[in-house]
Chains A and B, each alone.
Chain A
Amino acid sequence: MNHPLPDSSGQPQFTDLNRRSFLKTGLSGALFLGTVSVTAGLSGCATEPAGRLSAVGTRMDASYQFRFLNEDDIALFEALLPAMIGPGLPEQSQARNMAIAGTIERIDAGIHKFGPANQKELRQLFDLLNFGLTRVTVARVWSSWPNVTTAEADAFLERWRTSRIGLFNNGYIALTKISNVAFYGYRDFWHLSGYPGPPQYAVDALPQFQNA
């Protein structure tokens, strides 16, 4: 038997129908999920990383190059983050949009380092949530993400958190973990956890912080 070498291309694979997948294992209602990515690809959903988005209209930093998230994924996180972070987001609308956009960029940058295997699982999860049929039947979210209210997004997260189906718990953990680390782990939001940052005397004394 010849094992293929790890594929580190980082490109989502849309052709492998038989793979063991994130949501296939043990969940009859999701048996067709392995095909969601394929269907999404064939039906012209956004499947390519979003690359550089125009700053106008997207609120994104136009210089940031998306490597993994596509435009649908970005819309998904724009809907989820207000529920995910809740009152931690700034109230003022421009600051709020910037905080959301920056968090989504850091989510993308983090996922870029996850490597192909976990990227593949996240691709399936995001496609499941973005593809209309599965969004409604599996996630039980009736509107498309740009039209989902914060209360609806919170209800979705709460359903997956409290579900007795381990795969939904796993999805909940995946979504909250990447969002929370990208948000609370970033210096602009350290104050929310009362974390003062690295000790200043060390920063002042250590060579790697000089001429930064």
Chain B
Amino acid sequence: MSLTDRIARGLESGWNVTDGAHLTEHLTTEADVVVIGTGAGGGTTAEILARSGLSVILVEEGRLYYQKDFKMDEQTSYANLYQEGMSRVTRDGAIAILQGRCVGGSTTVNWTSSFRTPAPTLNYWADQFGLEELRPDAMAPWFDGREERHSMSPWQADPNVNNDILRQGCEKLGYSWQIIPRNVKGCWNLGYCGVGCPTNAKQGALMTTIPGALDNNARLFHSLRADRLVMKQDQIDHLEASAFADDGVTPTGIKVNLKARHFVVAASAIGSPGLLLRSEIPDPNQRVGKRSFIHPVNATVAQMPQRVDPYYGAPQSIYSDEFNFRNGVDGPVGYKLEVPPLHPGMSSGVIPGHGENQINNMAGLPHMQSTIALLRDGFHPDSPGGTVSLRDDGSPVLDYPVTDYLWTGIREAFHTMAEIQFAAGADKVRLMHLDSDWYTNWTDAKAAINQLPMAPHRVRLFTAHQMGGCAMGSNPQNSVVNGFGEHHQVSNLSVHDASIFPTSIGANPQLSVYALAARNSARLAQRLS
């Protein structure tokens, strides 16, 4: 149980950190490499490059929040730590997008689940996109390395009741289940990973690679948004960026120009395609923003006879892959089963309802269990994913049509989740669906699930995993970067985040991003040194 705050100490020791809100004059500066984004990809990249002796500038649009700010409070955390103050949605509003916007990116607010990219996914990438060098055996050492760097290991303590109900239901029905590896060190098992770890136990970018980079003389600008990469002939010359005030959202009018030999974009699967599109980076085959993927998530909630206290304890510790690759890698859609934490703000926002119904829903919170299904999109001709494009104001937006292929999987996942909850002893179950009642037995639930319309808005859909849009591949005709994240057309540009995934992956993505970024950064460091 360490109470030593790595960030406070580092700032005191003279780390080169600039809060964009404090800049009063326009600024131009330079480094060997500018890294845009400080999440799983950007943090890893910055640390590896800085350790190899290169000068590095990190740029983060969100602000630097750390232990002093992490007070286990939903409202302030959603407002400050999440994209668009937790209001980000797909273009038609049908899918809520949970994504970090702070130093450390989504790793500062994720629920710590740490999975390797599933082997069938890596093999599919090799077979379909010419990514032979990413086969599971070749990637294994990179996963090993990152598991060590981020202290990832299967959760040792007992799962909380919320997770244990998923385990019990799977046991009863003969479905496989496993324990989730988590990236924590000295975890207090409190349950507040999603609002910024209050104890510094979570070993996301904020506690590992960001301090590692800053210890090695990297410079961090936060509250500074990357607006545009500016080309000079066939190379990127500099990044134009603009500062936000200390509320994190109001532009101050201060501009910063950052020059470098090389630029690494790691601004997320929505932010990175957005930046490349705004910058009009050469894209002869119009691939930027295409084949953007999420894991669409649907959910059920159950009222259990026992107390669940779903707001306490490690939020995710049990999962089931029974249905993830059951139909092969490219058959009908597969889904991973997990559990979300339920705090009152989040619960009241995702369980649709108002008035007396809603207060009754909410009054059951201490006995509430929820199960979620993460659908593995992008492995089938009928699952082309979505598209990131720019709004009139230049900000990126994800258009994500839900195909019949996905709706079939969503209905099936509702069946699976309700069946598991009843098998685990639920008194009643309801779907996250505008038309769902509470069903008191599996027969009624099953009949209702067969009848309910599977339609946008009526089915409540979520995602915390954004992938693709700057796909890697050996063929420049259908990809943006090669298997090392190097841009096909612009030689001093790399992309090091989940946007390079050519499909979704079928698992929570942080370890996949860490591992690929580590591998690609090691190569980049060699190239530039």
Q: A: which residues have CB within 8 A of B?
A: 1-10, 16, 19-20, 22, 25, 83-88, 106, 109-118, 121, 154, 157, 161-162, 166, 169-170, 172-174, 176-186, 189-190, 192-195, 198-199, 202-203, 206-209
Q: How far is the CB of A106 from chain B (nearest CB, A)?
A: 7
Partner of A7, one of B74, B348, B393: B393
Size of the chain B interface, CB-CB below 8 angstroms:
75
A172 to B349, CA, bound (A): 12
As a 0/1 sequence over residues 79 to 94 of chain B, the CB contacts with chain A under 8 angstroms (1 = contact) are 1100011111100111
Complex alpha-carbon distance, A115 and B247, angstroms: 11
B87 touches A4 (CB 8 A): no
**Scoring B residues 456 to 468 as 1 if CB is less than 8 Å from chain A, else 0, what string do you get?**
1110100000000
Measured CB to CB, the closest approach of chain A to B92, in angstroms, equals: 7
B394 touching A194, Cβ below 8 Å = no
Q: Which residues of A contact B73 (CB under 8 A)?
A: 198
The B406-447 residues at the A interface (CB cut-off 8 A) are 434-435
Closest residue to B72 on the A side, CB-wise?
Answer: A198
Q: B5 contacts which chain A residues (CB < 8 A)?
A: 207
How distant is B103 from chain A, measured CB to nearest CB, in Å? 17
What's the least CB distance linking A167 to chain B, in Å?
A: 8
Instruction: Please list 10 pairs of residues, one from A and one from B, whose beta carbons are closer than 8 Å in the complex, sorted by A's number.
Output: A4-B393, A5-B228, A118-B84, A118-B88, A161-B354, A170-B457, A180-B348, A181-B78, A184-B362, A195-B343
Q: Is the CB of B71 within 8 A of A208?
A: yes
Q: Are A87 and B244 in contact (CB-based, < 8 A)?
A: no
**Roughly how many angstroms separate A122 CA and B397 CA in the complex, as a whole number?**
16
Chain A residues within an 8 Å CB radius of B484? none
Within 8 A of A (CB), among B24-73: 67-73
| B9, CB-defined interface residue at 8 Å | no
Known: A5-B394, A202-B198. A161 touches B434 (CB 8 A): yes
Asked if B284 is at the interface of the complex by the 8 Å CB criterion, the answer is: no
Which of B80, B354, B397 has a CB less than 8 Å from the CB of A117?
A: B397
CB within 8 Å of A: which B326-376 residues? 343-349, 352-356, 358-359, 362-363, 365-366
**From DSSP, what is the main secondary structure of chain A's interface residues?**
helix
Q: Find chain B residues with CB under 8 A from A209 CB.
A: 71
Q: In the complex the two chains form, is B349's CB within 8 Å of A113's CB?
A: no
Query: Which residues of B are found within 8 Å of A106, using beta-carbon distances?
Result: 75
User: Given A3-B280, A161-B434, is A86 in contact with B249 using a C-beta cutoff of 8 Å?
Assistant: no
Contact assessment for B344 and A193 in the assembled complex, using a CB-CB cutoff below 8 Å: yes
**8 closest Cβ contacts across the A-B interface?**
A185-B345, A113-B85, A169-B457, A184-B348, A180-B348, A198-B72, A86-B355, A193-B365
With A113-B248, A194-B365, A202-B188 already in contact, the answer to whether A208 and B354 are too (CB < 8 A) is no
Q: Is the CB of B354 within 8 A of A181?
A: no
Looking at the assembled complex, report how far the CB atom of B328 sits from the nearest CB atom of chain A, in whole angstroms.
33
Q: Is residue B278 contacting chain A, with contact meaning CB distance below 8 A?
A: yes
Task: Knowing A166-B94, A170-B92, A202-B188, say if A85 contacts B355 (CB, 8 Å).
Answer: yes
A-chain residues with CB within 8 Å of residue B15 when the two chains form the complex: none
Known contacts A7-B394, A110-B85; 14 further A-B pairs (Cβ under 8 A): A9-B251, A19-B392, A84-B355, A85-B355, A111-B87, A113-B247, A161-B352, A176-B352, A181-B74, A181-B345, A195-B344, A199-B312, A207-B3, A209-B71
Cα–Cα distance between A19 and B362 once the two chains are bound (Å): 38
Query: Please, how many angstroms separate the alpha-carbon atoms of A209 and B455 in the complex?
Result: 45
Is A116 touching B92 in the complex (CB atoms < 8 A)?
A: no
Task: Choose among A116, A194, A198 the residue that contacts B395 (Cβ–Cβ < 8 A).
Answer: A116
Give the distance in Å from the alpha carbon of A174 to the alpha carbon of B84 in the complex: 14
A85, A109, A198 — most chain B CB neighbours (10 Å): A198
From B84, B356, B397, B460, give the contact of A114 (CB < 8 A). Answer: B84
CB neighbours (8 Å) of A177 from chain B are 349
The answer, yes or no, to whether B190 is at the interface (CB within 8 Å) is: yes
List the A side residues contacting B390 at CB < 8 Å: 3
Q: Contacting B349 at CB < 8 Å: which of A87, A161, A180, A190?
A: A180
Bound CA span A117–B394, Å: 10
Nearest CB in chain B: distance from A82 CB, A: 9
Distance of A199 from chain B, by nearest CB (Å): 6
Give the nearest-CB partner of A186 in chain B. Answer: B75
Evaluate whether A118 and B355 lie within 8 angstroms (CB atoms) in the complex, with A8-B244, A162-B434 already known.
no
Using A193-B365, A208-B68 as known contacts, say yes or no to A112 and B392 having CB atoms under 8 A apart. no
Query: Given that A3-B394, A176-B353 are known contacts, is A193 also in contact with B347, CB under 8 Å in the complex?
Result: yes
Cβ-defined contact, A154 with B355, below 8 A:
yes
Q: CB of B164 within 8 A of chain A?
A: no
* Chain A residues with CB under 8 A of B503: none
Contacts of B391 in A (CB 8 A): 117
Chain B hits for A114, CB < 8 A: 84-85, 87
Chain A contacts for B311, CB-based, 8 A: 195
User: Any chain A CB within 8 A of the CB of B377?
Assistant: no
